[in-house]
Structure 1
Amino acid sequence: MDLAYTHSEYTDPFDRGQYMVVNKSAAYRAWDGKFLLSDPKKRLDEKFSESSGKIDTVDVGLEKNIGENWLFRANYALTRSMLDYSQIRARDFNPATGVIERENTSFRNFEHRTHAGGVNLNGLFDTGSISHNLLLGIDLKEEMRRHPVSALSSGGINNLNLYNLQFGRATRTTNYTKTDGQYQRIRSIGGYAQDNINLTENLIYALGLRYEYYDQIGGKLNKNGGGLEVKTDSSDGKFIYQTGLIYLLTPEWSVYGNYAQSFRPQISTSEDMGHLDPEEGISTEVGTKFQNDEITATLALFNIDKKNVAYSINNITYAAGKVNSRGIELDANGRVTQGLSLGASYAYTKTETKKDEKNKWKVGKPLDATPKNQASLMANYDFSHLGLKDLE
């Protein structure tokens, strides 16, 4: 049995990104669909736009062998984060005067709490000459987010003029009198079965089936201190499956291909959107993997189609009808010397919005916050082989 507890504290910049003008009237014709600032490295907020918080986690795990070929596992995790943040963001723009109206807000005691647990049973058995690696399980999860109070200031020194930008006049607002907080809660339960079947000595077939049911509610606390103004109240469930083949070219080198479906509930408290349908996806992947005692390397090609993908523009929530991501991934990890290990990865991802009824101008454009090229490099050195572990 394992038990772990962690505590962390942080302070990070709070960046809402650029402000895009969405207005098709004649006065905004030259600005519709454009960002106010042409330089993506510049922002329209202030230095005090930041978030600070604390995160506490508790993890409990249990394993027990049942006979020689079966293993029972149970786990539970609790994560609770408390967050305070301040932000000043653009809310409107007047092209005639250049005035950018900004909203100065601060939030206190923003709580995000997650309970997650599950049990599974993993066993090895044979049916005739065919070997099976069977996994059966159930998992449950509850995720809750809420912030009870906020402070708001707008107009006056909070505003900017695009044609004569002057920052530093506005200060953090701390008059916590508003009770227009938000509340979100999602509960889900899922059951799954997966079998890895050794059809031959070199060929493995994988098949998995999962059913997930969720119930969610969300909305805004009444501005006058009353109850919850419900914006989302829904439940649904769906069967999804995944399947794939693995062929061992050698004991160390394999090629594979797989197909998988996804189903993820999502929630919105925005008055403009209300209920959001679950995000659904289909992914296919083919690749090759090499692994021995010194090196692990993987090369994969992938294609992912999703629908009902939520995004926001100027704090308004939308859902794209269909989006696509495809690309290539390369990962390699290995021991260079007795003490030095290196890890490197690279991913090229091309994304595209295929269908969007609300914002048709996004069709054909890449997805937000998804880098086209992404790479990482990691080095680790273990001094234990030098005998330093015995130094006092």
Structure 2
Amino acid sequence: MAQNAPLRYSPLAVFLVSLAPCLTQAQSEQDAPTTFSAQTLEVQSSADASAEGLTPAFAGGQVAEGGRVGLLGKQDKMETPYNFTNYTELLIEDQQAASVGDVLRNDPAVRVARGYGNFQQVYLVRGLPVFSDDMTYNGLYGMLPRQYLASEFIQRVQVFRGANTFLKGAAPGGSGLGGAVNVVPKRAPNHPLTQVTTGVQSGGQGYAAADVARRSEDGRYGLRVNAARRDGDTAVDGESRELSMSHIGLDYRGENLRLSADLGYQDHLMDASQPNITIAEGVAIPDAPDASESVAQPWTYSESEDVFGTVRGEYDFSEAVTGWLAFGMRQGEEQASFANPTVNSPNGDYTAYRFDNTREDTVTTSEIGARGSFDTGSVRHEVTVSGSAYKLESDNAYAGTFGGISGNIYNPTNEARPAYTYTGGNLDNPGLTEKTRLSSLAVADQVSLLEDRLKITLGARHQRIETESYDYSNGDRTANYDESDITPSIGLVYQLTTSFSTYANYIEGLQQGDTAPATANSQPVSNAGETLEPFTTEQSEVGFKFEQGDLGGSASFYYSRKPSAEVDSDNVFRISDYQRNRGVELNAYGKATRHLSVLGGVSFLDADVNGDEAIGSPDTQANFNLKYDVPALPDLALDSRLIYTSSQYADSANEQKVPSWTRLDIGARYLVPMGDDRLLTLRARIESVAGHDYWASAGGYPGEGYLTVGAPRTAKLSATVDF
């Protein structure tokens, strides 16, 4: 097992800890309204310090009616020209979801994959990756642990479908071109909360968590504290995991001023976890190995430790003008040892090499903005101006071997850990290898006409991307990049009735251009080392949304074009082609009947690169969730989730076809009143009921087609007591 490296806590973390005692006046014994001057206001928890508070849950409680849409702030889903879904805390709890990836398995436009050569969660939205370190936390980039985020931090998970640089700024890791993921942290509700949960899952892994929240008697101050521990073997024989997390969420609501703050800590260790598996060129995709037995070498591991914090404030200068300011900081440390197999024959024989790395990140990020509304005749304007800044300094080192490991994925054997044959930097004291700075300024005008039935969103963002790379061994600068671009957007939404809206948008994504290689086809590249200007992904989308009574849904059609570069016949590295994604998405949510809730839909995707399908882009994905409240037993709820993913390719030439797969999950929740305002909630769940072995994903990093093994049949049991 890996040993923790000392963690150097950030100044922001120390500040937030010192701030906590000032706000722990939250000792409310009742859910009382707050009185400001002559007005009575019901307090609503607000992680982003907005006046609107948390958007209400829709019928069925699994998704919310709206959410944050980047610099535009809180938006009702029916009144915005963009496509998104907010999954709620109730859904997370009932499904016993352990991570963001578990939550996103409910979305038909998303599939969960892995990072290149590591265990980082990657979310493929509309066929394009969102790296887990490109998620936002209350709208701020870079705050969350890079590879995995425990669900105990989360009150809402928002999936935004489509390019989004105008709304959110360019993602620091260069992903997010097909969508975005935003996490909303927990806040104190209006009522006191004291909750303890224990659980166990297949393999014997134990789980314990506590969730405590209070508001002050006048409701202005809120405090919520979460802590959780997972430890033990998993349903995969030979694999074990440990996770420790804690979180403090604070908020204050005054008449004109609202404040919010977070302090979080997470330590995540994975031992001998199922690795990524690459199938060598020319080898047909073999059957997936036994999902319940790890192919990993027993000495492989990955550990990451992070501390992060944010502060956010919003102030009403007048009834028409509101300004906000946010700041965040994260310090993270990672260390890992990998031996990911490359299968060289149809019978499953593989070779592998050892690769170890250490990484230390320091991230600071900030946002400032103002929003004002005014009328010009019968036209209503809401103008927003926002600026953001992001800075990453990353220290890295690595070491490894050239080969030295062999085996078979169907008959795993343990190999001795080989000694290093090459190194880059000092694993015990990594040096600075990367700096990234992002800065942007955005302006938007939301125009309302025809008695607010027609809303037009106009805007643009000027984005600057600066990166520097340094040699692992001597620290010399090896590359420098400083480019900028403007990404515009226009969106229209028209409410045909109170229940139906049509919408259309044009929006772009932005990422740093690729760097020319030194050679190609055994010939020198004439512009070797040159990094191209930022790549712009263009997207257009049309669709409609409906919310009729307790049932809602949407239908959309989109087209996006993402540049790709390669060396041409003149040995010049330049943009040579585009990945063209065309898709149709159908979604439904809410209550189909009094006792039956539905959630899910189907996504059709055509991801074309020069006439071939893009790696890891299934043409059909479907998710169907049903939750049934049993009428004869009102305290019992049953649920099921069916996930279908069609075949996909693991190579750009479309010669390695990965079969389709289907997975069924089932669960139950039973409420047991215990008297004295205490409630026991029992939950049981079986995931991958049939226990089939399958390849869950192909790729996750551009140009790479490595495979991940689907999870085995896994049973989960938990008990929650509310005091």
Tell me which interval the TM-score lies in, with the shorter structure as reference length.
0.7 to 0.9
String of CA shifts for 1:234-257, please: whole Å, max 9, x gaps: 111111201122111012310011
**Within 2, Cα distance between the matches of 1:206 and 1:253?**
19
Quote the residue 2:650 is aligned against: none
Q: Secondary structure at the match of 1:178?
A: strand
Quote the residue 1:131 is aligned against: 380
Count of residue correspondences: 350
Contact between 1:151 and 1:174, CA under 8 Å: does it hold in 2? no
Equivalent position to 2:389, from 140, 149, 160: 140
**Within 1, Cα distance between the matches of 2:670 and 2:371?**
37
Equivalent position to 1:122, from 364, 368, 371: 371
Say if 2:611 is the partner of 1:352: no
Contact between 2:599 and 2:626, CA under 8 Å: does it hold in 1? yes
Say if 2:619 is the partner of 1:372: yes
Quote the residue 1:199 is aligned against: 449
1:265-276 → structure 2 map (5 Å cutoff): 265=512, 274-276=529-531
**Within 2, Cα distance between the matches of 1:389 and 1:331?**
42
Gap change, CA 1:319 and 1:378, over 3 Å in 2: farther
Equivalent position to 2:536, from 280, 292, 313: 280
Deviation at 1:229, TM superposition (A): 5.3
Q: Which moved more, 1:1-10 or 1:368-377?
A: 368-377
Quote the residue 2:355 is aligned against: 105
Query: Which amino acid letter does the alignment assign opposite residue 140 of structure 1?
Result: A
Quote the residue 1:30 is aligned against: none
Unaligned runs of 5+ in 1: 22-33, 311-317, 355-363
Query: Which amino acid letter does the alignment assign opposite residue 251 of structure 1?
Result: T
Query: Which amino acid letter does the alignment assign opposite residue 612 of structure 2?
Result: K
**Within 2, Cα distance between the matches of 1:100 and 1:389?**
60
Deviation at 1:170, TM superposition (A): 2.5
Quote the residue 1:360 is aligned against: none
Alignment RMSD, CA only?
4.0
Higher-strand-fraction structure: 1
Say if 2:498 is the partner of 1:238: no
Say if 2:330 is the partner of 1:85: no
Quote the residue 2:560 is aligned against: 304
Contact between 1:131 and 1:199, CA under 8 Å: does it hold in 2? yes
1:211-226 → structure 2 map (5 Å cutoff): 211-222=462-473, 226=474
Q: Secondary structure at the match of 1:142?
A: strand
Gap change, CA 1:376 and 1:91, over 3 Å in 2: closer
Contact between 2:306 and 2:333, CA under 8 Å: does it hold in 1? yes
1:1-392 → structure 2 map (5 Å cutoff): 1-12=259-270, 13=273, 15-21=275-281, 34-35=282-283, 38-39=285-286, 41=288, 46-48=296-298, 49-89=300-340, 102-107=352-357, 109-148=358-397, 150-156=398-404, 158-159=405-406, 167-173=412-418, 178-180=423-425, 183-201=433-451, 202-222=453-473, 226-228=474-476, 230=478, 232-265=479-512, 274-277=529-532, 278-291=534-547, 294-308=550-564, 321-335=577-591, 342-354=598-610, 364-376=611-623, 390-391=677-678, 392=723
Deviation at 1:292, TM superposition (A): 6.0
Unaligned runs of 5+ in 2: 1-258, 520-527, 567-573, 628-636, 638-668, 679-722
Gap change, CA 1:114 and 1:191, over 3 Å in 2: same
Q: Secondary structure at the match of 2:413?
A: coil
**Within 2, Cα distance between the matches of 1:389 and 1:113?**
47
Quote the residue 1:31 is aligned against: none
**Within 2, Cα distance between the matches of 1:379 and 1:54?**
37
- Percentage of matched positions with identical amino acids: 17
Query: Which amino acid letter does the alignment assign opposite residue 260 of structure 1?
Result: I
**Within 1, Cα distance between the matches of 2:620 and 2:593?**
29
Contact between 1:88 and 1:102, CA under 8 Å: does it hold in 2? yes
TM-score (norm 2): 0.43
Deviation at 1:106, TM superposition (A): 1.5
Contact between 2:365 and 2:388, CA under 8 Å: does it hold in 1? yes
Deviation at 1:266, TM superposition (A): 5.9
Query: Which amino acid letter does the alignment assign opposite residue 103 of structure 1?
Result: Y
TM-score (norm 1): 0.75
Deviation at 1:325, TM superposition (A): 1.1
Gap change, CA 1:144 and 1:300, over 3 Å in 2: farther
Gap change, CA 1:129 and 1:286, over 3 Å in 2: same
Q: Secondary structure at the match of 1:244?
A: strand
**Within 1, Cα distance between the matches of 2:336 and 2:575?**
26
Contact between 1:9 and 1:53, CA under 8 Å: does it hold in 2? yes
Gap change, CA 1:276 and 1:168, over 3 Å in 2: farther
Larger RCO, structure (CA 8 Å, separation 6 or more): 2
Deviation at 1:376, TM superposition (A): 4.0
